[in-house]
Amino acid sequence: MQLLARIGAALQGQRGYLFPWAPVCLALGIGAFFLSREEPSILFLGVCGAMAFAGLGGVWALPEASRPLALGVAFCLLGVAIAGVRAHRVAAPVLDWRYYGPVEGRIVGIDRSASDALRLTLDRVVLARVVSEKVPKRVRVALHGDQRFIDPKPHMTVILTGHLAPPSGPVEPGGFDFKRHAWFQGIGAIGYTRVPVLALAPAPDRQSLLRLRLRLSDAIRNRLSGETGTLAAAVTTGDRSGVPQSTLEALRASNLAHLLAISGLHMGLLVGFVFASLRYGMALHEWSALYLPTKKIAAMVALAAATGYLLLSGGNVATERAYAMAAVALLAVMVDRRAISLRAVAVAAMVVLMLRPEAMLGPGFQMSFAATTALVAVFEILRKRGPLRIPRLLRPVFAVAVSSLVAGLATAPFGAAHFNTVSHFGLVANLLAVPIMGTVVVPSAVVAACLAPIGLEAVGLVPMGLGLDAILWVARWVAGLEGAVGHVPRPPAAVLPLLALGMLWAILWQGRARCLGAVPVLIAGVLWIGTERPLALIADTGGLVGVMQETGARALSKPRGAGFVARNWLENDGDGADQADAAARWGAGEGRVRKVELGGLALWHVFGKREVAALADCPETALVVLSHDTDTDLPCDVWTPARLRKSGAVALYARKDGLQMKTARDISGRRMWNTRALRPQ
């Protein structure tokens, strides 16, 4: 009780600064839901929700010193309930077997895969010989081979002959869980086709936002050819289906990939340009300037423009966060309140978390709010210290430099943790490219949109294209510099939560105790530096094995095949090599039977149907990984694809008393998205 009294007294000293902690507590509850290794029952979620609403509604009956702590607990419980309700609300059938045959569906999404193949997302799916109750709500199919017979359009009904499989789990224990990601997107199967896709029924005449987006993208690409047109379509409508993989790699290497994601930068520039243009325009008219609330009118029009941009761009998480921030700021202007503050960031975070709690686990949410929170905090500090003695002409340069530096530092650990790369010259690239985006690209896009109804969109598109060409030149120049990209290993699971909590404590807590935020940040740094990578990794299909050598580099058992898994393993190791180079590290092998000794354990990888069928014996102490199932009774520890489907990917760690084994199922547990028996029937 004494401890609770001290906590209550400390929280009382933070009165007026506690609201930004509400989304933090909400996120803690959401995180607890996703960290659970057992699926919470409906009863448990209901109790959490009831207790949360009871706490939020009855908090005023408590002593004043206890209210902040009670509210924090209530928001944590609300986070658990919201995440659980969302997980059940998106529940849909998931394919539990490999399917080959005709696939019919309506196109609801068009994008590109990591291998640069065009990819279709289909709903209203029909599979041959599969009852409707077991057909996934959505499937995603990559198009390979000759596809010249079709020009995919939104809501067009198509038919194809393809291979489908359930969404895959983590490529290694504790890695990114695509099964969970696909569950919240409603995707119950993924696959590919190598035969032409045929149009079964044309797209209906009725208009939709997706069709409007793609029509605008086509119109922009027709006006601006080549990479310039694809970039222009990406930054205006969010359609990245035409952006080549080489361009994306250059933008990522130079830390300019955020310019393609319609996020805070784009929304802020758009809103700022519309707001400033309209307000200054009305100020030039005497009657408007004297008798109209020009500031509030400009804010209303800017909010309408932001709403249209949100709908047009497809409304991903980064755009929703940016829109929420812009809406809060503009509404504050309308009611004569301060527009930019940590309270506005907190409101935006709560909106996104309540609508899409699963977004908290993704890099978009984490990097977006890390940058926004840090920027608002730094500029509030500068505002409180008064005007800086900087020449008027250099103030915009100073603002861009500070913004790029702060946002880069705030997002760097999250980007490095998710993508395993660090752009060493990203600050230089942003200092050169961001001003071009703000002064040329976005204003030109607004001008093009305003003049499009009278056929004069080229007035805006031409300078927009020149600006994008300049940004692309900067990206390629920076990406081509020696040492432009560094590679880092994937950190332990506790690192990012510790970093986030430490940074939030340092920003949100008032007083000298904010220095305590450095403690979890330092602990996170120590954990990251001491990252232990698995001694051996086994893919969940049995198709690939990777072994860490004494040099600290991983050797792979195959130079080709399972390329996605291989790429992720090497990236998580912080290794920039490709699969072929990593396979060469294994050394000479015995055909398709690869053998290695690991601390007294013989690890074999046998791949190929003939090689698996020919395997008749193995040492009892050996661990043998097979790429195909077999009925042969072997004396060793055999891991077949059937066994791996139940366990998921396997990792072996070196310990003093031998090798420790962890499976993906050990980490992810039994949840709806990976266990058929737990899904709503």
More confident residue, 489 or 5: 489
Looking at residue 315, its pLDDT comes to 62
CA dihedral over 308, 311, 316, 320, signed as positive or negative: positive
* C-beta of residue 131 within 8 angstroms of C-beta of residue 144: no
Residues 342 and 351: their CA atoms lie apart, in Å, by 14
What pLDDT digit, counting tens, does each position of 142-160 carry? 998 887 777 788 888 999 9
Looking at residue 590, its pLDDT comes to 64
Torsion angles phi and psi, residue 147, rounded to 5? -120, 30
Residues 154 and 201: their CA atoms lie apart, in Å, by 12
* C-beta of residue 672 within 8 angstroms of C-beta of residue 91: yes
Looking at residue 443, its pLDDT comes to 82
For the CA atoms of 468, 470, 473, 478, the dihedral, rounded to the nearest 10 degrees, stands at -100
Taking alpha carbons only, the member of 677, 672, 675 closest to residue 91 is 672
Looking at residue 673, its pLDDT comes to 92
Percentage of the chain beyond pLDDT 70 is 94
Q: Which residue has the tokens 């002593």?
A: 63
Residues 123 and 140: their CA atoms lie apart, in Å, by 9
Residues 149 and 104: their CA atoms lie apart, in Å, by 16
What pLDDT digit, counting tens, does each position of 501-512 carry? 999 999 988 888
Query: Which tokens go with 88?
Result: 């059940």
Q: Which residue has the tokens 């949410």?
A: 365
Beta-carbon contacts of residue 393 (< 8 Å; ≥ 6 apart): none
Residues 146 and 149: their CA atoms lie apart, in Å, by 8
Mean pLDDT of 342-361: 89
Q: How much is the mean pLDDT over the chain?
A: 85
More confident residue, 266 or 528: 528
More confident residue, 43 or 210: 43
What pLDDT digit, counting tens, does each position of 278-321 carry? 888 888 887 887 788 888 888 898 888 888 877 777 666 667 77
Taking alpha carbons only, the member of 243, 292, 270 closest to residue 118 is 243
Torsion angles phi and psi, residue 667, rounded to 5? -85, -45
What pLDDT digit, counting tens, does each position of 521-567 carry? 999 999 999 889 999 999 999 989 999 988 889 999 888 888 889 99
Residues forming a β-bridge with 190? 140, 165
> Does the pLDDT at position 589 exceed 70?
no
The pTM (predicted TM-score) of the whole model is: 0.87
Looking at residue 254, its pLDDT comes to 85
> Does the pLDDT at position 577 exceed 80?
yes
Q: Is 117 exposed, middle or buried (0-12, 13-18, 19+ CB in 10 A)?
A: middle
Mean pLDDT of 66-81: 90
What pLDDT digit, counting tens, does each position of 222-233 carry? 888 788 888 888
Pairing of strands 138-143, 187-193: parallel
DSSP state of 97: S
Percentage of the chain beyond pLDDT 90 is 31
Residues 198 and 159: their CA atoms lie apart, in Å, by 5
Looking at residue 292, its pLDDT comes to 82
Distances (CA, A) of 636 to 1, 534, 619, 625: 57, 22, 6, 10
Domain 99-201 CATH (choose: 2.40.50, 2.60.40, 2.30.30, 1.20.58): 2.40.50
DSSP reduced 3-state for 38: strand
Beta-carbon contacts of residue 162 (< 8 Å; ≥ 6 apart): 100, 101, 103, 141, 191, 192, 193
Question: Residue 277 — pLDDT band, cuts 50, 70, 90?
Answer: confident
Query: Which tokens go with 645?
Result: 């489907």
What pLDDT digit, counting tens, does each position of 600-611 carry? 788 889 888 888
- Each domain of the chain, given as residue ranges in start order, spans 2-89, 99-201, 235-487, 495-529, 536-647
What pLDDT digit, counting tens, does each position of 90-133 carry? 999 999 889 999 999 999 888 877 777 889 999 999 999 888 88
